[in-house]
Structure 1
């Protein structure tokens, strides 16, 4: 689902009413746990958490005018999605997350390269998502990103 909005608050207002509390809880979980330095903004039509140009002036190589993306959350047609570029880029972090997910959630992990899909909001492991958010600072993400370019 793409929403033609400019702010995070407009995004939350635009999503279906039954998804609002879930997205708000996701947002709070991320904001409460993300290391200092990341900034929240609308990014690619989703709520995004980015490394701002003030910390990484080069920006995102695909479009240097944009800050370096790290995490995004989105209300999709059939699920709520969490995009985490650290999981995509760091195999140890990915393995940690998969193992912890299996210990925490009884359903099978539905995941793409950086996208974790939650079809049933009751199965969202918010505590685990919070732990995941703490695992990488903006400086660590920049270093990993630079190595992978």
Structure 2
């Protein structure tokens, strides 16, 4: 029998991610699983067309940004989303797919619940899909939650 003891819900704090986190929270409550909330902060700071002009940010920037992300994660779950037995929050710097997959592997996550907003056409070809890459690279099953239009 499959046992799900830990669920990873990565979030970028978008409305799409909120729906997936809510779903993961309700699922964690029902299964008695620990929920892990993860936010990946991007190393890339877009400043213009010349990458040589990218500013060097002070170390305090990275520390403060991570602290702000952790504070936001601590306020993410709403009381009406259910009550999982345990909640673990984490924030890190890096490329989202790599960090999510690494976290899932390091923490022995049993299920990842991730949002997708159904990018199609040229945007999908050029940008790819974070959710699709997570599905391909994750060490565990991945449940994708798609926002339905009109809801």
State the TM-score, normalizing by the size of structure 1: 0.23
